[in-house]
Amino acid sequence: MRICIVAEGCYPYVVGGVSGWVNSMIKAFPEHEFVILTIIADREQSAKFAYELPENVVAVYESYLTDFDWGKKPKTGKRTHFGEKYYRALRSIVMNDNPDWENIFKLFEKDFSIDDLLMGADFLHIVQEFYETNFTQINFSDFLWTMRSIYQPLFLIMKTPIPKADIYHCVATGYAGVLGGMAKIRYKCGLIVSEHGIYAREREEELIKATWVAGIYKNIWIDQFHKMAILAYNKADVVTCLYGHARELQIELGCNESKIMITANGIDMSRFANIPGKTPEDENYVNIGAVLRVTPIKDVKTMIRAFAFAKQIVPNLKLWIMGPTDEDEKYASDCFEMVEIMNLKDVVFTGRINVTDYLGRMDFTILTSISEGQPLTILEGYAARKPVIATDVGNCSGLIYGEGSDNLGDAGILTHIMNTEELADAMIELAKNPEKCKAMGDVGYERCKAKYQLSQMQQTYRELYKKVFLFNFPNREKELERN
């Protein structure tokens, strides 16, 4: 079986939760052949992998959200008109009027310049109609150029050559979901969509807060991500999510609930069985471990502020910020400067690490994110018997307090987003109560062992891959038997 993983902005270029999940999934199925179809910003990032690819990855294909085509002179010398059928299909996408994705995908199989399309008469007339129907209170020239900027990345993605595979496994909706939908229509293959966070909802939250886009345009961008999500949901054979509330959000966005399957994350707990514990120097400190990328979504600045307050009460606190600092160098620089200006002692930025070298030295872990799914870093801490302080995002509440029939108890402390006081109080509470801290760590270990092991996730997806493969290729059952 050949499986194509379709990812956006993560594997194999960026280290993090979703990328780590993809890497572990590929390694978990050595009997299958994988290709990677990955969406990145532009060709500047090409082939700059953060991972050593597993042996069963046979190829990596790239798709770009910005590329050389934009801004070229028209190839034909005149702006292209594609005919009535494709005009109606293009109009349905822009107007969000029961989008005709199948004919749009057929259009993008043709040889033409994206610049020709965006600067052409068809797109202009459709945008004029959209404007006159909804947005006459704003300047048309600004509106037209904004619409071109909104549709440029989508159109570039739809020009992507798609490698053949038996199953396409998209790890988000968005542009990855568009490629998955194209593959489903073009090759009559299997399609699985797995969401760690709910992509359309996350983009919506980002856009509401954004300062780079004005109010009316926020709504157009939000609608864009919603229509792409619905495409992915409609074409998928199965849609997975990590926990119950995520399923509710998928249904709200338009996914048929009969397609949705909750599949929890899983980690290899054996990796943490014999990790090194505290060094003699560590015994003088209460070590707090933050395994994360130093980026705004992890809200490292609030973590640092909270640590500064907590350290006034517990002077032997030490904060280890463990993860790459090169994804958003400006934000990382702000964090370094913040520590320096505050003259804050005992904050260590390690850079990228192997977590098994450090987790055993920690007393507890912390995650101050403003958005998450079901964080692998919490599960890795649990595997090392470390409790967690985490913000109430994604499934952090379920991981800390348990869900359903889980009555194991608390495996840490939950706080509100960007709440410095609550975070500081939580650090102080665990630091001053080592027995409570240890008991919470033991609860986390038992919870991880019961529900979040890699072997459990592997078995779930093995059965899912088989089910989707046989549904789409019922005459190829013997191929699975050979594997």
> Tens digits of per-residue pLDDT, 363-400?
999 999 998 989 999 999 999 999 999 999 999 999 99
Task: Give the mean model confidence (pLDDT) for residues 262-277.
Answer: 94
CATH topology for the 2-69+159-262 domain: Rossmann fold (3.40.50)
Give the integer Cα–Cα distance in Å for 469 and 29: 15
Question: Strand locations in 100-242, DSSP E?
Answer: 167-170, 190-194, 238-241
Q: Tell me the pLDDT of the chain averaged across its residues.
A: 93
- At residue 70 the predicted structure's pLDDT band, cuts being 50, 70 and 90, is low
Distances (CA, A) of 456 to 396, 434, 460: 20, 32, 6
Q: For a pLDDT cut of 70, what percent of the chain falls above it?
A: 97
Which H, E and C letters describe 308-348, residue by residue? HHHHHHCCCEEEEEECCCCCCHHHHHHHHHHHHHCCCCCEE
Considering the segment(s) 269-451 as one domain, its CATH architecture is 3-Layer(aba) Sandwich (3.40)
DSSP 75: S
Give the C-alpha separation, 402 to 264, whole Å: 13
Range 436-449 average pLDDT: 98
Give the bridge partners for 453, in sequence order.
267
The answer to whether the 2-69+159-262 and 269-451 domains have the same CATH topology is yes
What is the per-residue pLDDT across 321-345, written as a single tens digit (0 to 9) for each?
A: 999 999 899 999 999 999 999 999 9
- Give the whole-angstrom CA distance, residue 408 versus residue 202: 31
Q: 117-153: per-residue pLDDT in tens? A: 999 999 999 999 999 999 999 999 999 999 999 999 9
**Can you tell me whether residue 210 is helix, strand or coil?**
coil
Residue-wise pLDDT for 85-129, tens only, equals: 999 999 999 999 999 999 999 999 998 889 989 999 999 999 999
Q: What Cα–Cα distance (Å) separates residue 400 from each residue in 371, 391, 395, 412, 448?
A: 16, 10, 9, 6, 11
Query: pLDDT category, 80, cuts 50, 70, 90?
Result: low
**Residue pLDDT, tens place only, 305-327:** 999 999 999 999 999 999 999 98
Nearest Cα to 460, choosing from 295, 293, 263, 320? 263
pLDDT bin (cut points 50, 70, 90) of residue 13 is very high
pLDDT at 389: 98
Prediction pTM value: 0.90
Provide the residue ranges of all domains of the chain, joining segments of one domain with +: 2-69+159-262, 84-150, 269-451
End-to-end CA distance of the chain: 8
